[in-house]
Structure 1
């Protein structure tokens, strides 16, 4: 049996980290013997590679001496250590002499250095493994995927810290390589020396993308797709309406976006763009919704997202049919009622608020609401035969009671402090009679005097029975006025009235109460002579009407705005009217909002609706859905489809899906057909959150300040209750690299999901309208093209990583994984550089971008392939007459300009000059820098519906111009 003591010693020895004291001593001793040996180890070792602390101290001093061009002998070294007070720590002069004495020669110092470095690497691996093991054993352990990534990061970090091979190369070797390269190029006979971009003229200028090149492709993120300053977005978390100006200023935006399932869902913006002043156009729909955008800003149509420039009056665009967004804030009910009444029928431009209404129930309800404010009440205004009016004022009895309470409190206070009325009068520089009147509750001191009174008595106002000075001062601002001023509702004439910002943040029941009382004044509900039920609201303020329309939309109520005829000579402008005619909306309004004081009229509306079948002439889907239904149905007769589904034929003898009698499908009919055809897309469309509204006006507004937001993934958002939309050239490079090369291509898409990129590639390669690809509404001629595109890609090695905010180290580890499994890469593409991050980077953003740029150049050299990175441009170029980018327009441009081998700018003049017919469908790729070639401009065709750039050749002119 083995000796236990011997076993423990062996076990302890196994736990000693790998090291070689002999090799470390030989390195240090060799350097002291031969100072020229420093050049052999300086690029191979760092101080931390030494195991013994004393050796690390000695090597650090050697580094300092070598940098100062001083000798490394025993005497100089000992003096330097003595100067740092470290000589005794390392063992004194005797140990240094021993190191030099025990090293016979420095000839093998490089081999000794390699041993030291090798042992140091092993220790780092042990330390990394221990760190990962501790994390794995932790009680509240991290996820396994996170631990795997951490392990990779630690190991690759060790690899990065190892000295790089290489060094100066002699002239003879360089000349030999240069001659070999010239011979290789000669034998190519003008063929591409790098990876072809797929664009003839660009390849001629660059000779392809060269291995180890960092290529920057830059462009403005929104390229002119902007909405006008002042446009409002709803915050789904709070219910607040916030202007796009405010969102861009604070660089944070919670908003609503439309998913591919046609559902509105909360999201947030990832980028904010100030695009200066541009030509803006107001778009108004049949429902009366309005938004002001540039001509290039896309709207969702039945044929997909299309820019305003391609839309005309009469076309239908998608708008939300509901915005189920409610706040969490609360106000007392009497304040909500008072606010609604005074906005609707109130006068707030005189010294006191007025309420004018002929309905006695409303006047009593208003007066009760006002009595909820401390000391406030209402008095009738004698106005002869005119509409009864109530004046909001202080209640005399409450004022007298408060003053008496103050007088009693003042007398008691004077007694407690032992002060006479005469003494108080002298201290305040007022008459004794005034103090007497205060003590008997007949008058109150002026507000400034009251403040001095509290100071003299050393008492707060509450100790004198005054919670609020305004409650006892006859001429002070009343609580009602202060409440209205706080909500921005005081001093507004009728055309200027708006709904206060705080109302949008109210919880649902209080918002319903506000609308209830608002409609009680200026709203109506009735059944017309033609049997059509209708609820309406009128106001001389168009903005107020639009805001009421928005609030109703939160309940899922569709309302239309129209301008009424002006029958009153006293009115300077015609009033505006909001009307609700849709059956579902009418039912929702009656059930969830109602109108105080008009219950009989609402009962008539309910009775009218109960006697009619559900039907809507307005709530229908775009005509493109008819084509989709026919494509899905194919040649199968409706009768066989119904029989197979065990259902009766849809109601009506003719569905009118095509021909001259074609009609747009209602949502209910579309839902029937979705069930019959077992089609999920049609079912989602029928049950979507969208209403398809007709454009009735497109009006130019001239140059206006505009902004844009970027929403990752969906690339759209809701502004002014309309759905509006927000990496093409680089992806065309990727397509060609994937098809032309047998090597893998790696794409890092930190802005767009991998699935969306793949759909875009299929659209580009198959020349299929990208909207039809995204929605699945392919036409007959599209299917062979889609099949061809799929066949082009199915056996290719394309890898897309859509992880957000990657760091260079994380990117390197993922590339290495692909290279290890699939071989060397043909191309790496990054979309885009400014979305990368370095965790824990403490410097400013410019410094961080500089580090990222250097790391990307390092990636290109390490993996021997081109790295193409997209980059943003500064918005300053928008202020110039000529919008073509230049080098200084690169955002955080210093390091990018220095590190990049090629910098190319993508410019489309049609974005900025949409009315110029000569620039439509054209693009420019401006080579602003090329380290090993010329600079200049390459002209191309841009086919928007395929998101594809093409060589500008005669056979592509027609397609480029959409012919």
Structure 2
């Protein structure tokens, strides 16, 4: 009010909300409005403006405005006064946020600890960012020119033209002068959509439940190939050419053209060994020779579930499901081994075994019935009753296998299967297979699931069975299973299986691929090794150039490199880097089947990586706030960073969870750009492309193909697209060659860089002619 010219000195330092008293907030906001309209502001004009909006009395009236003007010594130190107001505002905000954090810790309202920490950290960072307000502003061109000349001199003294962090790719460094500090760099490509299926495909969840692929949601836990959970990180939906994967004596399933088959080697040959796992694009499998396809087959695995207490012995339940009376606890049998078991089981329950002779309508003797009970009449509420247990399990007149039994320990599942075999099964010694035939199709499917989960080779067929002498005919369902079935603890001597002696494994399954039609697909990205199971335990599968850049920066610059891997666990990423640097086939590294000449290269790669300052954070679904705080912490502990890599942008979470995904991605990209500027470090974020390019004859990506948000295009300083022609054209002359297309560069030219792609090492290198090895597929 004393000197209008000083307004511009404080306008960017404080806001109306920085004042504690309401009357001061009203006065400052009025001054702000008058200044915006270029109207002079003093005691009189401010009082008039306040009176016009009915707030003069709330602001203390004309007398209070006059007192403020009179009691202020001068406007000479107005910047210092503004800083005092701002500092006190920050302290009040800290007190308020601290109180909220304390209250939320005492009253979580159902929120987990991670969410509470995220909210607390975000609120504190918000205050910290406000604290920087007004600390920078216009600088005279003269001082900036001096800084620019100093930088030019430093670059002139350097050898070569790379002024930022070298990527290791000569032609790319020539076009970009390296990865520049404070730049946000986007590396984009089509995702490896090796996890998309036709509608209705049933996936095995970690709980043992079966779920149709279209019903799976982010956060769901799938059953992994090693019986550990795989968390769903994101979903994929769309249309594409679909193919049937026909399994020999297995459940057929539909996949999209981009699917990645998980296959196992079925015979030894030179360096290839039985059991070697190969994750191969479906299109590559179709283009491979007949010999290759015969050597690599689909495969299944056994599943381990945790052991839980059971209300009845699983072997007894198997006997009852096979030969029990549906409405009662009675079991029909003539086998002495079964009767001996029932007698012993009854004794262990302190109950009695009762034999009930049975006759048919013609008076002829039938198979006797055996019942385990207390042997007493009347209602005995406190006596253990098998009949009562079967009723509580909803089994009476409803034969099925309760989920508690299907998803129990291997030992309990084997006992259950043994009971089914001893009651209703047949051992075909000539073929070394068991057969169980059922009239109930749902129970037959459960028995197949049970056998599949135990790792046996299993088939289920529908057939007609009958008795010619009386003209009886019925539809039945036959389950056949083989493998190491001799470990099933059957009691009947004639039904005991011989050990599996063939050199061929029963868990390998021949497959045939048939084109279906263009149709909807449903899929997802999951964590871990991205191998999960279908309903019959078939194993299926679900970023390399940025990691190659990170390796080069960490090794050559000796600066710390931070990698946020939200898709791949840290140990898997470490194995990939060892494969890349050591030039060792990644399948050998992953399976541990290294040859003699691989070990020295592995040791060398480990030594090289151990000497770097590379740090990997594999926490899933990080927010920009979390990334920022962790990167800051790394800077404090290890000094200036050379590079930050995020794999990948679409897996990040945004604090604005209520907004749509486009808005969230916009917030994330802005946060990453702010991080790059704050820490003065290049930030590489991997990004996916949408499927628009699939519809074009030329599949090379363009800027509009960036998935979910145009804000990525706006915020990025450098955008590079990875394109491999062989992915789309199986007869491409550019097999083994990748194009790195620079679609945007804020401070440099656009162009295309050709690189050599060594798929077996997951490595990109400077292009030096075709090095594609077709022999592997022959």
Q: Secondary structure at the match of 2:88?
A: helix
CA contact (8 A) 1:921 1:942 kept: yes
Q: 1:923 aligns with which of 709, 724, 738?
A: 738
Q: Secondary structure at the match of 1:209?
A: coil
Q: Write the mapping of 1:475-874 to structure 2, written as runs, cut at 5 A.
A: 508=405, 525=426, 527=428, 534-536=433-435, 549-554=448-453, 557-560=456-459, 579-582=480-483, 584=485, 587=488, 604-606=494-496, 609=497, 615-618=499-502, 693-701=507-515, 703-705=517-519, 706-719=521-534, 720-839=536-655, 841-874=657-690
After superposition, the Cα gap between the structure-2 partners of 1:274 and 1:148, relative to the gap in structure 1 and judged at 3 Å, is: closer
Q: Secondary structure at the match of 1:33?
A: coil
After superposition, the Cα gap between the structure-2 partners of 1:695 and 1:951, relative to the gap in structure 1 and judged at 3 Å, is: farther
CA contact (8 A) 1:557 1:586 kept: no
Q: Secondary structure at the match of 2:742?
A: strand
Counterparts of 1:776 and 1:516, CA distance in 2: 36
Matching residue of 2:387: none
CA contact (8 A) 2:565 2:648 kept: yes
Matching residue of 2:82: 113
- Following superposition, the deviation at residue 516 of structure 1 comes to 12
Matching residue of 2:37: 68
- Structure 1: unaligned runs, 5 residues or longer: 1-31, 329-335, 342-358, 362-499, 567-574, 592-601, 621-690
Matching residue of 2:365: none
More helix by share: 1
What do residues 376-428 of structure 1 show as CA deviations (whole Å, max 9, x unaligned)?
A: xxxxxxxxxxxxxxxxxxxxxxxxxxxxxxxxxxxxxxxxxxxxxxxxxxxxx
Q: Write the mapping of 1:143-154 to structure 2, written as runs, cut at 5 A.
A: 153-154=122-123
Q: Secondary structure at the match of 1:167?
A: coil
Q: 2:59 aligns with which of 86, 90, 96?
A: 90
After superposition, the Cα gap between the structure-2 partners of 1:900 and 1:739, relative to the gap in structure 1 and judged at 3 Å, is: same
Counterparts of 1:737 and 1:717, CA distance in 2: 34
- Structure 2: unaligned runs, 5 residues or longer: 265-274, 310-316, 323-331, 335-397, 408-412, 466-475
Matching residue of 2:757: 942
- Following superposition, the deviation at residue 518 of structure 1 comes to 11
Does residue 303 (structure 1) correspond to residue 284 (structure 2)? The answer is no
CA contact (8 A) 1:563 1:577 kept: yes
Matching residue of 1:231: 201
Q: Write the mapping of 1:133-144 to structure 2, written as runs, cut at 5 A.
A: none
Q: Normalized against structure 2, the TM-score is what?
A: 0.74
After superposition, the Cα gap between the structure-2 partners of 1:692 and 1:48, relative to the gap in structure 1 and judged at 3 Å, is: farther
Matching residue of 1:411: none
Matching residue of 1:80: 49
Counterparts of 1:722 and 1:766, CA distance in 2: 32
Matching residue of 1:274: 237
Matching residue of 1:265: 228
- Following superposition, the deviation at residue 153 of structure 1 comes to 4.8
CA contact (8 A) 1:874 1:890 kept: yes
- Following superposition, the deviation at residue 922 of structure 1 comes to 2.2
> Which sits farther off after the overlay, 187-196 or 752-761?
187-196
Counterparts of 1:139 and 1:542, CA distance in 2: 48
After superposition, the Cα gap between the structure-2 partners of 1:814 and 1:240, relative to the gap in structure 1 and judged at 3 Å, is: closer
- Following superposition, the deviation at residue 581 of structure 1 comes to 4.2
- Following superposition, the deviation at residue 800 of structure 1 comes to 1.7
- Following superposition, the deviation at residue 947 of structure 1 comes to 1.2
Q: Secondary structure at the match of 1:918?
A: coil
Q: Secondary structure at the match of 1:270?
A: strand
> Which sits farther off after the overlay, 118-127 or 108-117?
118-127
What do residues 692-739 of structure 1 show as CA deviations (whole Å, max 9, x unaligned)?
A: 633434333255544433211231111253111222111111111111
- Following superposition, the deviation at residue 741 of structure 1 comes to 1.3
- Following superposition, the deviation at residue 131 of structure 1 comes to 5.4
CA contact (8 A) 1:928 1:936 kept: yes
Does residue 906 (structure 1) correspond to residue 726 (structure 2)? The answer is no
CA contact (8 A) 2:451 2:481 kept: no
Counterparts of 1:860 and 1:139, CA distance in 2: 34
Counterparts of 1:819 and 1:857, CA distance in 2: 17
- Following superposition, the deviation at residue 158 of structure 1 comes to 2.2
CA contact (8 A) 1:315 1:695 kept: no
Query: Aligned residue pairs: how many?
Result: 665
CA contact (8 A) 2:170 2:766 kept: yes
More strand by share: 2
CA contact (8 A) 1:921 1:960 kept: no
CA contact (8 A) 1:907 1:925 kept: yes
> Which sits farther off after the overlay, 930-939 or 826-835?
930-939
Matching residue of 1:215: 185
Counterparts of 2:110 and 2:451, CA distance in 1: 49
- Following superposition, the deviation at residue 505 of structure 1 comes to 7.7
> Which sits farther off after the overlay, 228-237 or 751-760?
228-237
Matching residue of 2:747: 932
- Following superposition, the deviation at residue 884 of structure 1 comes to 2.5
What do residues 44-86 of structure 1 show as CA deviations (whole Å, max 9, x unaligned)?
A: 1122333433222211222222223222211111122223433
Counterparts of 2:626 and 2:406, CA distance in 1: 50
Give the root-mean-square deviation of aligned CA atoms. 4.7
Counterparts of 2:622 and 2:14, CA distance in 1: 31
Counterparts of 2:258 and 2:670, CA distance in 1: 39
What do residues 773-817 of structure 1 show as CA deviations (whole Å, max 9, x unaligned)?
A: 233333221221122112212232222222222222222222111
Q: Write the mapping of 1:369-384 to structure 2, written as runs, cut at 5 A.
A: none
Counterparts of 1:783 and 1:586, CA distance in 2: 37
Counterparts of 2:177 and 2:81, CA distance in 1: 46
Q: Secondary structure at the match of 1:800?
A: strand
What do residues 306-327 of structure 1 show as CA deviations (whole Å, max 9, x unaligned)?
A: 3152652143553123576999
- Following superposition, the deviation at residue 900 of structure 1 comes to 0.8
- Following superposition, the deviation at residue 218 of structure 1 comes to 1.6
CA contact (8 A) 2:738 2:756 kept: yes
CA contact (8 A) 2:418 2:488 kept: no
Q: Secondary structure at the match of 2:89?
A: helix
Matching residue of 1:449: none
Counterparts of 1:185 and 1:100, CA distance in 2: 55
Counterparts of 2:134 and 2:620, CA distance in 1: 30
After superposition, the Cα gap between the structure-2 partners of 1:576 and 1:920, relative to the gap in structure 1 and judged at 3 Å, is: farther
Counterparts of 1:215 and 1:520, CA distance in 2: 65
CA contact (8 A) 1:37 1:109 kept: yes
CA contact (8 A) 2:194 2:542 kept: no
After superposition, the Cα gap between the structure-2 partners of 1:183 and 1:619, relative to the gap in structure 1 and judged at 3 Å, is: same
After superposition, the Cα gap between the structure-2 partners of 1:264 and 1:70, relative to the gap in structure 1 and judged at 3 Å, is: same
Counterparts of 1:779 and 1:99, CA distance in 2: 85
Counterparts of 1:871 and 1:315, CA distance in 2: 32
- Following superposition, the deviation at residue 184 of structure 1 comes to 4.7
Counterparts of 2:533 and 2:657, CA distance in 1: 35
CA contact (8 A) 1:323 1:556 kept: no
After superposition, the Cα gap between the structure-2 partners of 1:933 and 1:316, relative to the gap in structure 1 and judged at 3 Å, is: same
